[in-house]
Amino acid sequence: MAVTPSLNSLPYEIRQTIYSLVGRQTGDSGYWRGNSAPTIAHYATVSREWQEAFEGFTFRELRVTPKRLKSFSHIVTSPRRRAIVQTIHFHVSLDRYEPHLGGEQESSAERRRGTEVLTAALGSFFRVMTNWRKSDTSPLGLDLHLLVDSPSDSSTLTGKNGGPMVTGRALTSYLKLDLETLSLPHIDVFSGLRCTGRHLQPTSILAIVSRLRTLEYLDVELNHDSTRKRDVKQRNNFAMGLDQHGETVRVLSLRRPSPMLTPSPSPPKQPWSDFYVYMRNFSQQCESFEFDDCIDAAQFFAPFLVGPATEKSLQGQDVPFWIRLKRLNVRNSYMMKAPYLRVANRIEALASVHKVLVAIGRAACRMPDLLFARVCQYVLSDGQLEWFVLTYECYAGKAVLRAKGFILGRAMTEAWKHCAASKGLGFVVHNETDDPAAPEL
C-alpha cells in the first residue's frame, strides 16, 4: 500500500501555493482583535515553515489600540516580522455615550475629553514607533491609518450599503489635538497617512505630518469652505503648513467630511485668497492630486479660466506648472445643500461645468507628465442627480478623451486637443453618451 506523501515532501513552490490559498480563504482578521475563531495565526503554530509562511498574512496589516501597544511592542520585535508589515491601523476609541444623545452635539467638556484621549494615545503610539528604524521596514515604508471614533457612533439604523449608519453626534463633532501639550517624536518609517472616523481639524493633522519625516502619501479630510473664522483659519494654516511640513508628500488626497457637517454660509469667490494660492503652490510638487467639494475646482484652476475679469483679478500671480503631476482626480457638486450652493439654477450649473472642464484642459498643457485625469461634476436639480465625467488617458503615443453624460463641445475639445499636441501625442475623442437630450458643453 502506497504511503500518502506528507505536505513537507511536496516541492517548495506547491507548498507556497497551498499556503497562499489557505491564507486567502481564511482571512487575516481576528489575530489582533482577540477573536476565538480559527484564523491564520493558528496555522502559524503548526511548524516553523508554517509560521514563516502564514506570518506573511498575519503581520501584513496590524490593528493596534492604545491598550494593546505593549503587546504590539512585544510581538513585533524581530526584523523579519517588521519587514512584513505594510499597514498599521491605529484605532483610538473615545468614550461611549447614551443612545438618546446620538443626535446631539458634544458639550465643551466632552470635546476636551476627546482631545485628552487622542493626544495621549498618539503620544504613546509615537513613542513606541521610535523603536522602529527605516531599515526594519520594506523599501516602500509603512502606511499609518488613524481611526478615531466612539463605540456609540454606529447607529442602530442601516444605511443604503447595508452597513450601520453613523449617529448625528459623530457627523457633527470634530476632534483636535492639544498642540500646547502635544509631544510627538520624529519618525522615519511611515510613508503614508490616512485619517478616518471623527473629523480631525486640519492644523492637528499638520502636527502629525510634521513628525513624519518620510511621508509621501497623505489622505485626509479638509474643513468646508465657509466664512466661519475658524474654518477659514484652519484651511489657510493647513495649506500654508503643507509647504513647510509636507515637503516629502507626493500623493495628496483631500476630501470633505462625509456626510457633510453642519451647513454654513458659502464664501465669496476668492481664487486669489491665501488658501488657493498656497494650495496651488503645493500641488505643483505632487505626482498625484485628488480633491472633491472641499476645494472649488473653478477657484483652484482660476488662472486658466477664460474671461477678462478672472485674468485681471489674478494679475501678477505666477501661472502654475505641475512638473511632476501624473494623475489628477477632481470631483465637485452643484446645487447641493450648503456650503456647496455655488449656483442658483441648472443653467448656471451647466455653465460652470463647461467652464471648469475647459479650464482644466488648458491647465493640462502645464502638466507635461500627466497620464490620467478624471473630472467628475455632479448637478442636483429637481431631485434628479446628473453627472458629467471627462476622462483623459495617455498611452501608446496618443491621448484619449472620453465624455460621459454630455456631448463634447468645440471649446472643450480644442482645449484638450491643444494639450495633446503640446506633448506630441495623437488625439482621439469618444462621446460615450447615447442620450439625445444630453447637453453639449
User: How many structural domains comprise the chain?
Assistant: 2
In 127-229 the beta strands, taken as DSSP E runs, fall at 142-149, 154-158, 164-166, 174-175, 190-197, 199-200, 217-221
Within-domain flag for 394: no
3 with 97, same domain? no
Structural domain ending residue among the three candidates 14, 39, 58: 58
- Provide the domain limits for residue 42: 1-58
Same domain, 245 and 319: yes
What distance in Å separates the CA atoms of residue 7 and residue 396, rounded to the nearest whole number? 47
Cα–chain center distance at 224: 15
d(CA 190, CA 128): 13
CA distance 190 to 212: 6
CB atoms within 10 A of CB 266: 16
Residues 237 and 343 in one domain: yes
| 438 domain residue, yes or no | no
Query: Does residue 41 belong to any structural domain of this protein?
Result: yes
Q: What sign does the CA torsion over 264, 294, 161, 93 have?
A: negative
Which of 318, 344, 364 is the last residue before a domain boundary? 364
**Sole residue written with cell 455632479:** 378
Instruction: Report the alpha-carbon distance of residue 264 to residue 228 in Å, rounded.
Output: 8
Q: What is the pLDDT along the chain (441 residues), one digit of tens a residue?
A: 455 655 565 565 555 565 555 555 555 444 444 444 445 555 555 555 455 555 555 778 889 999 999 999 888 887 878 888 889 999 999 999 998 888 888 889 999 999 999 999 999 999 999 999 888 887 888 999 999 999 998 866 655 555 557 888 888 888 999 988 888 999 999 999 999 999 999 999 999 999 999 999 999 999 876 667 777 888 899 999 998 999 999 999 999 886 554 444 555 555 557 899 999 999 999 999 999 988 999 999 999 997 654 444 445 567 899 999 999 999 998 876 565 667 778 888 899 999 999 999 999 999 999 999 999 999 987 778 889 999 999 999 999 999 999 999 999 999 999 999 999 999 999 988 878 888 888
Which of residues 364, 398, 422 is at a domain's end?
364
Q: Is residue 126 part of a domain?
A: yes
- Is residue 391 in a domain? no
Q: How far out from the chain centre does Cα 127 lie?
A: 25
Q: Give yes or no for a contact between 341 and 297, defined as CB atoms under 8 angstroms apart.
A: no
Are 18 and 142 part of one and the same domain?
A: no
Q: Is residue 166 part of a domain?
A: yes
Together in a domain, 244 and 294: yes
Reading the block at residue 107, the C-alpha cell is 458639550
133, 3: one domain:
no
